[in-house]
Structure 1
């Protein structure tokens, strides 16, 4: 995909200084004109020239537009009633390169008779490789649904015993007693080729096989004597059908439709396979949304949430993989700036730490290694997960397994400190993963406003506590260990999907399809912040109005401080960027030659504790875009500046005294 940088130039010219300004009505303005008493306000004479790396660049003072195309994930910033007129830019999430499969989804669904919008019963579905969850909205609030066993986190496992099908926690129990007829960790295989899968996590369950180029499992699903070969698509359909059945029983109505979350690296082939599996299960997929966007929406849709422009890191720490995404939240739209995916630092590796710890203890007592037996290893893993969860809410946990191996029972305890020390490498790996994706986005930890922890592994307190030390105090770490108002991390994605489903359920499928068309989803973004410079205490202070990575069209307003005595106010509209200012500690003075040895020994500890360098984010003022003067501002008054960047890259700048009668405005047409 070719990268493109579009320059939009505004020249620095004297502005209208009449009492009324361009809004006085003496003469209409179209971006090149002003009132009769003024001079030319703005002029657009930027031009695009070729560059050696095939990226156009703009001469003169320019407002840069970020790489194109980029697709924001559109989302409401709070839970909204459905009486609001339909707007695709307002209601829909979009994931880069997702729109093609969404259009295909609607075409496939169009061949079948889906439910009418008024007859839809919708849910949000987070289909995970380890666990899945379902959510339903009641009075614009998302509620996570419990299945028949009372579980809100439903293991993504199917098991067959004497022709009966079990799923969820019941099926998970059969991983010990009936592993060959239990199918787990299959979601990662949907839409994949056999040569590309990693069957590591299937060692204690039915193993994936290849049949006619399709990934399959062989289980006795009908009776104990006759094995059946089931494709991974059919396994997914059966599991989704059970989830839909549980949701229907809970709601009291048959669930017809859903918004489903997918990882950011899900391919078009995987999305198509997932949609087909859901359709075969009798579930209409209204939309696929990115997992990190769904998690962010679960927080931003709360009534008490403040609407603000921010950079958010969403760390989805699951059972078998960890996914981290950097999002730019701008006016209710989420743009994915960078993502990272890792299979080395996840919940299963924390389980392995506990398995290793207790196995060594068992070997010391009985001189037998329980990890050499598949059934014993399954018991260890099952109990290790329970112990890990207990250590997330308490400082001590017990570990007990009956007949672990050769009839030997085993019982022990572990405290959280010992556990965290043993799992230090895993925690450090998660930190590196998060730092890496921030650097991949071209940002620094000081640029991050919020970190949201999602996924079951996020319950571990040490992970959140480590991030508190990694990020500055201004960054909000949203996790149960650091915030009393944090939502259950395991439920975030399902809640976000349910909120999105409630917003779009009353629209026709054609309307949804049109809103996911590339012409709608592909928009430009600002590369740099656009704002104003004011003079405070003999220093120029930059106030961003339109932040970097803002999808256009966009409109932002800010109040500029004025002198206490009032008077004329000069406004400079400029581009701005951030850089990290590093202040190194001053070197300590060397001791005098005549100092005695005792004093050297006493001060050795102080020498070891050297001061760390100080890092801070500061704004760097770029080129001036335009200047404007507001005459005769009253004492104690305020000046309001609004910048509006249209979808076609046209820019309008408006400045006026709050409460005053006049103002000035300039408009620049798109190049």
Structure 2
């Protein structure tokens, strides 16, 4: 009996299927997500397949073939899945097998058999082969036949791409229980930790990936995650970090070995240069210096050099700064401010670099918690965040009937309206034009929502209050004859609420000093607000039905 026919037969894992790397994970009996290493000991498994005389090489073994067997090595293919050939960007595949058009899809011309003839292999077939190798690695590790998975996808993966991935997974022997977006999986990985305290918050998940940067703004309200905004930038990516190092070492090589030529002008030399620069980049993420060493880099000349982290950060400073600005742009897309952000989760292998977190920290207030290895001792490995979240989700739903899973993830459920502005109480004393606003139902809260509260019901907008502090006089320098001193004026930014409209108000007269007023509100699925105002303990009160606050639609980010 198949897993699809009987949930009891399922052995489900989480799979993170990346353009550069993939990973697999399961949830232990203690409820802890564990990342699985493949047979070569890699927890971060290169999404690469290579063929040598009919033998299929996978992951790290395949990656080494980019130097001597590039035309039969397929890499960076995930984003081609489910797309028309005319819509893809083949640039990342420059040093591997080049994509070609085949009927209505993307394919590769490779020699994948013992025969000396090239075969046309579609991107769907390549994906099936890759997922099958991941499934086998997980099955060998667990000692069980893995037959189901929750798979992470980028937030801009369309339905055609998901359908193509689902079909490839099925052919690889995997039932797709659910697709989960990468940023949601990353937030879940943190929130599922035993020591985590679930609070309402706005979280940015930022991934400086190999081929592009992916930024997502997520609202967490009562354990429900809402994607408020996303941003994808193909001009800011990890390849640019590699390129900065490649240019540096190429220039050093030319300076020391003029007869060796430029290693960037030869495909084989370029592949060697790139692979070693990737290793140097990883080493600089955990150490302050790294060695570059390649035999026969160009024209038979060996090359050895060293570089320290400070030099690397200067070479790549524009990339780090551009990445940090993407986070701010994403926040501004939905008319929020950096002061609204509670946490920033840095995901992906490049987030191990301390400069990524420091560049981001420079643009956000100190109150924003940045979760990355260089800023938090308890940070989860950025490369493992999505797959851990996927494994946790797989453990939660693997025993459900497929029909129930599909209903619970239907757009009618997941793409739900949510409040745009916060609703709360305005405490007024004396001057009716002033008061203290306290949030009861925050903005970005999925509907329906409600509760029993004491309030005057109003809708408010978030504003950033900017004040100038008193100038601080600098002491004149000892070597200056001028008696004038420079003055520094500091700018302080604070988040505050301003009432935009009163939703409902009631005049209850004759109250005794210290009396409490009970206001019961219910925000329904049709966005109407039913409010009841009365003194606590009283049998009668004022009832009203009014139009609810403005809403925005989740899922359109």
TM-score w.r.t. length of structure 2: 0.90
Q: Paired residue for 1:134?
A: 24
3-state DSSP of counterpart to 2:173: coil
Q: Paired residue for 1:414?
A: 307
* Residues 537 and 160 of structure 1: CA distance in aligned 2, closer, same or farther (over 3 Å): farther
Shift of 1:286: 0.8
3-state DSSP of counterpart to 2:435: strand
3-state DSSP of counterpart to 1:136: strand
CA displacement, residues 78-106 of structure 1 (integer Å, 9 cap, x when unaligned):
xxxxxxxxxxxxxxxxxxxxxxxxxxxxx
Q: Distance in 1 between matches of 2:472 and 2:12?
A: 66
Q: Paired residue for 1:77?
A: none
Q: Paired residue for 1:626?
A: 505
The equivalent position to 1:226 in structure 2, one of 109, 114, 117, is 117
Matches within 5 A, 1:65-84: none
Shift of 1:405: 1.1
Specify which structure has the bigger relative contact order, considering alpha-carbon pairs within 8 angstroms and separated by 6 or more residues: 1
Q: Paired residue for 1:494?
A: 387
Q: Paired residue for 1:179?
A: 70
Q: Paired residue for 2:281?
A: 388
Is 1:463 equivalent to 2:356 in the alignment?
Answer: yes
The equivalent position to 2:211 in structure 1, one of 320, 330, 345, is 320
3-state DSSP of counterpart to 1:647: coil
Is 1:214 equivalent to 2:109 in the alignment?
Answer: no
User: Are the counterparts in 2 of residues 314 and 453 from structure 1 also a CA contact under 8 Å?
Assistant: yes
The equivalent position to 1:527 in structure 2, one of 420, 426, 432, is 420
Q: Paired residue for 2:550?
A: none
Q: Paired residue for 1:373?
A: 266
User: Are the counterparts in 2 of residues 115 and 256 from structure 1 also a CA contact under 8 Å?
Assistant: no
Q: Distance in 1 between matches of 2:65 and 2:539?
A: 73
5+ residue gaps, structure 1, are 1-111, 561-570, 590-596
Q: Distance in 2 between matches of 1:431 and 1:459?
A: 15
Shift of 1:297: 0.9
* Residues 120 and 598 of structure 1: CA distance in aligned 2, closer, same or farther (over 3 Å): closer
Q: Paired residue for 1:344?
A: 235
Q: Paired residue for 1:162?
A: 53
Q: Paired residue for 1:505?
A: 398
Q: Paired residue for 2:442?
A: 547
Shift of 1:234: 0.2
Shift of 1:598: 4.9
Shift of 1:623: 2.6
Q: Paired residue for 2:462?
A: 578
Q: Distance in 2 between matches of 1:464 and 1:642?
A: 44
Shift of 1:369: 0.8
TM-score w.r.t. length of structure 1: 0.75
User: Are the counterparts in 2 of residues 655 and 663 from structure 1 also a CA contact under 8 Å?
Assistant: no
Q: Paired residue for 1:74?
A: none
Q: Paired residue for 2:555?
A: none
Q: Distance in 2 between matches of 1:262 and 1:314?
A: 14
Shift of 1:555: 3.1
The equivalent position to 1:646 in structure 2, one of 507, 524, 535, is 524
Q: Distance in 2 between matches of 1:161 and 1:373?
A: 22
Is 1:239 equivalent to 2:134 in the alignment?
Answer: no
Shift of 1:375: 0.9
What is the root-mean-square deviation of aligned Cα atoms in Å? Answer: 2.6
Shift of 1:612: 3.8
User: Are the counterparts in 2 of residues 446 and 616 from structure 1 also a CA contact under 8 Å?
Assistant: yes
Q: Distance in 1 between matches of 2:187 and 2:276?
A: 32
Shift of 1:603: 4.8
Q: Distance in 1 between matches of 2:68 and 2:3?
A: 43
Q: Paired residue for 2:343?
A: 450
User: Are the counterparts in 2 of residues 321 and 344 from structure 1 also a CA contact under 8 Å?
Assistant: yes
CA displacement, residues 344-399 of structure 1 (integer Å, 9 cap, x when unaligned):
11111101111111110000011121111111111111111111111111111111
User: Are the counterparts in 1 of residues 149 and 177 from structure 2 also a CA contact under 8 Å?
Assistant: yes
Shift of 1:424: 0.8
Q: Paired residue for 1:62?
A: none
User: Are the counterparts in 2 of residues 532 and 543 from structure 1 also a CA contact under 8 Å?
Assistant: yes
Q: Distance in 1 between matches of 2:327 and 2:480?
A: 46
Q: Distance in 2 between matches of 1:555 and 1:599?
A: 68
3-state DSSP of counterpart to 1:425: helix
CA displacement, residues 90-139 of structure 1 (integer Å, 9 cap, x when unaligned):
xxxxxxxxxxxxxxxxxxxxxx9824111111111110000001110112
* Residues 588 and 416 of structure 1: CA distance in aligned 2, closer, same or farther (over 3 Å): closer
Larger radius of gyration: 1
The equivalent position to 1:152 in structure 2, one of 25, 40, 43, is 43
Shift of 1:640: 7.8
* Residues 159 and 623 of structure 1: CA distance in aligned 2, closer, same or farther (over 3 Å): same
Q: Distance in 1 between matches of 2:540 and 2:207?
A: 47
Shift of 1:166: 1.0
Shift of 1:313: 1.0
Shift of 1:632: 5.7
3-state DSSP of counterpart to 1:525: strand
Q: Paired residue for 2:372?
A: 479
5+ residue gaps, structure 2, are 474-478, 548-557
Shift of 1:557: 6.2
3-state DSSP of counterpart to 2:456: strand
Q: Distance in 1 between matches of 2:23 and 2:140?
A: 15
CA displacement, residues 507-541 of structure 1 (integer Å, 9 cap, x when unaligned):
11111222233433342211211101225898621
